[in-house]
Structure 1
Amino acid sequence: MSNEQAVARFSNPAPLGLAGFALTTWLLSMINAGWFTGDSMNMVLAVALAYGGTAQIIAGVMELPRGNTFGVTAFVSYGAFWWSFALFVLFLHDKVPSAFVGWYLFMWGVFTFYMWIASLRAARALQLIFLALWITFFLLAAGEWTGMAGLHTAGGYVGLITALLAFYLSAAEVINETHHRVVLPVGAPGASR
């Protein structure tokens, strides 16, 4: 059996990973944008552990037999991000200086920046997700370093855009596959990745 035939036997895990990422990012970004207070964080943490973290890691592992290095790296990494974020908020938030939190966010921005460069050969929708996400991380990092609430709020709004883009690509992949035609375009080069 050829590699292409073997990959065809596995379902596409990307819509699951994208949806887990989108929903969790949307919830946290509503708090970062100032729509809700930190009192809403418990719901973010629950979703971060169950959907943003666990479902994305499952999606990443499902990319292994498909031979999708980008998908494995993205989904497992951002799933781990959500787990680390939830653990930090639950147990360590009052024990880590803001400047160090800024470095945590900045380094996630660096990772996301090179993933964005890798995505430049993929569908336009995926490129836009990674573009918006690295900007989100850098704005949030700058907000932690400077204490400027406006940067944090801006990061929240760009995070909301990131989540909408990820929801769109998740929906497009599910709907297009189900209908066996392009209902929601994702932009060339012809496929989501």
Structure 2
Amino acid sequence: MKEINYVKHEVADPSALGLLGLAIVTLVASANKFGIVSGVSLVVPWAVFLGAFVQLIACLNDIKHGNVFGTTAFGGYAFFWFGMAMSWMIQLGVFGEGMKAAADPKAFAFVFLGYLIFTIYMTIGAIETNKTLLIIFIFIDLLFLGLTLSSLGIAYHATHLLAAIAELSIALFSFYGSAANVLNKTFGREFLPLGKPLGILKK
């Protein structure tokens, strides 16, 4: 009888890295929305490398964990930032004046609306992860609500401010979530609490 050997590959939890990427890119993007940073030229690199590639790496590692929620969340937002970076580059004329002239900013509203719908059902899933992640998703809901409405010119100043505040809040809570994941696993104890899941939806 042929002997079968199984090899187990240990893969680190990618949550800390993914949340770090989210924290950096939303901090930079919120500075742009608050008017502290003008233009998006120097937002693009952080959208590509921290918002997109770092979260994509986290997504691919969550696949190895069999974590559908983490895979979908990190993967979904990674490709959002790839899309935003390319859209900004089109608006900046990187791909030629023809594409720049043909770009209609209202298209963003439908992207943001789609991501609002996506984030709402991910928020429902986050109820059974931890409270820190749930708070982050609630602020992402508010971000996409503000972005959708402001892109359509609906109460622009108020909804743009809502998006800016929500995005800064995402950054702050994501830094905390990243730190908690790193330190809790490094020290083998709850150094920073993430908050237990609400436990209201699971059987």
Q: Which residue of 1 aligns with 2:95?
A: none
What amino acid sits opposite 2:168 in the alignment? Answer: L
Contact 2:55 2:77 in 1 (8 A): yes
Contact 2:142 2:162 in 1 (8 A): no
**2:184 is the alignment partner of 1:185:** no
1:141 to 148, 154, 162: 148
What amino acid sits opposite 1:174 in the alignment? Answer: V
The alpha-carbon deviation at position 35 of structure 1 amounts to 2.4
1:165 to 149, 170, 173: 173
Report SS of the residue matched to 1:65.
helix
Task: Tell me the TM-score normalised to structure 2 length.
Answer: 0.84
CA offsets per residue over residues 87-132 of structure 1, 9 Å max, x none? 0000157433233211111111111111001111110000000000
**2:60 is the alignment partner of 1:52:** no
Q: Which residue of 2 aligns with 1:132?
A: 139
Distance in 1 between the 2:49 and 2:36 partners?
23
Task: Tell me the TM-score normalised to structure 1 length.
Answer: 0.89
Q: How many residues align?
A: 183
What value does the CA root-mean-square deviation take over the aligned residues?
1.8
Q: Which residue of 2 aligns with 1:26?
A: 27
What amino acid sits opposite 1:154 in the alignment? Answer: L
**2:184 is the alignment partner of 1:176:** yes
Contact 2:140 2:170 in 1 (8 A): yes
The alpha-carbon deviation at position 169 of structure 1 amounts to 0.4
Q: Which residue of 2 aligns with 1:113?
A: 120
% identical aligned pairs: 30
Distance in 2 between the 1:82 and 1:96 partners?
18
Q: Which residue of 2 aligns with 1:63?
A: 62
Distance in 1 between the 2:193 and 2:8 partners?
26
Distance in 2 between the 1:65 and 1:12 partners?
10
Distance in 1 between the 2:157 and 2:197 partners?
39
Bigger helix share:
1
Residue segments in structure 2 that go unaligned for 5+ positions in a row:
1-6, 93-99, 199-203
What amino acid sits opposite 1:111 in the alignment? Answer: F
Distance in 1 between the 2:53 and 2:68 partners?
19
CA offsets per residue over residues 125-174 of structure 1, 9 Å max, x none? 00000000011111111011125133112211111001111111011000
1:98 to 72, 91, 105: 105
What amino acid sits opposite 1:25 in the alignment? Answer: T
TM-aligned CA distance change 1:186 to 1:6, over 3 Å: farther
The alpha-carbon deviation at position 68 of structure 1 amounts to 0.3
**Could you tell which deviates more after superposition, 81-90 or 43-52?**
43-52
Higher gyration radius (CA): 2
